[in-house]
Amino acid sequence: MSTEWDRGAGNGGETPPRREQGFTLVEILVVIAIIGVLAGILVPVLANARAQGRRTSCKSNLAQIYKATQLYVSEQGLRYPVVALRPTLDPTQPRLCDVLKRYSDNPNLFKCPADNQELFQKEGSSYEFNSILRGMAQDSFIEQFLGPTRTPMFYDYENFHPDPGKGSYGGKNVVFCDGSVGQ
């Protein structure tokens, strides 16, 4: 089946213009725009996934520190350690990482992956021990009053993580005296 272009009718005997192989500028710009939109959607999702990964790693660290503390308590007459709250402010007290070093072989256990204030380098830990528990007997009146599921033992020094909202500890992860970890 031939068309008018093929027969040369009505166009002065000329053959139709041939299209060059390749893409036009408009087609390329459309593809670039689509890629840009997809990247704009994907980047925040990936950033959120990375933040959740850091938070999960931090919670794992806190659970391991809790276990190391339980080993310490069992060897110390069921008493919690006396450690400096901020070793740079009170260098006379031992650091948390030094007291629990014997019970953990991983020095990075005390570093929160989201510690962007370099507290691990300054204090030896990204985590703070609850000052009320310092030197107290395990299951003391504090834990009995609040309950072990609501008495924080360790928590991030600062709000390293995104705030999950109402009912949380802001941007801090927390391990409680019963070993549960929350945010």
* Contact (CB, 8 A) for 120 and 112: yes
* pLDDT value at residue 81: 94
- In a domain, residue 33? The reply is yes
- Write down the pLDDT at residue 140: 83
Pick the closest to residue 133 from 86, 74, 83 (CA basis): 83
Assigned domain for 157 exists: yes
Print the domain residue range for 73.
24-182
Task: Measure the CA–CA gap between 179 and 183, rounded to whole angstroms.
Answer: 13
Q: What's the order of all strands across the beta sheet hosting 127-129? A: 127-129, 152-156, 174-176, 181-182
Q: Is residue 46 part of a domain?
A: yes
Domain contains 127: yes
Cα 177 from Cα 70, distance rounded (Å):
10
In-domain check, residue 112: yes
The pLDDT, as a whole number, for residue 171 is: 84
Taking alpha carbons only, the member of 90, 72, 76, 75 closest to residue 154 is: 72
- Answer yes or no: is 9 within a domain: no
Confidence (pTM): 0.76
Task: Report which secondary-structure segment, H or E, holds 163.
Answer: none
Q: How many domains does the chain have?
A: 1
- 181-182 and 174-176 beta bridge pairing: antiparallel
How confident is the model at residue 161, as a pLDDT? 85
Query: What's the rounded Cα separation, in Å, for the pair 46 and 173?
Result: 21
Instruction: Report if residue 11 sits inside a domain.
Output: no
CA distances from 136 to 23, 61, 83, 131, 158 (A): 75, 23, 12, 10, 24
* Cβ–Cβ < 8 Å for 28, 146: no
Residue 15 lies in a domain: no
152-156 and 181-182 beta bridge pairing: unpaired
Print pLDDT tens along the chain (183 aa): 555 555 555 556 666 666 667 889 999 999 999 999 999 988 888 888 888 899 999 999 999 999 999 999 999 999 999 999 888 888 899 999 999 999 988 889 999 999 999 999 999 999 999 999 998 888 888 788 888 888 999 999 998 888 877 767 788 999 999 999 988
Q: Are 112 and 58 in contact (CB under 8 A)?
A: yes
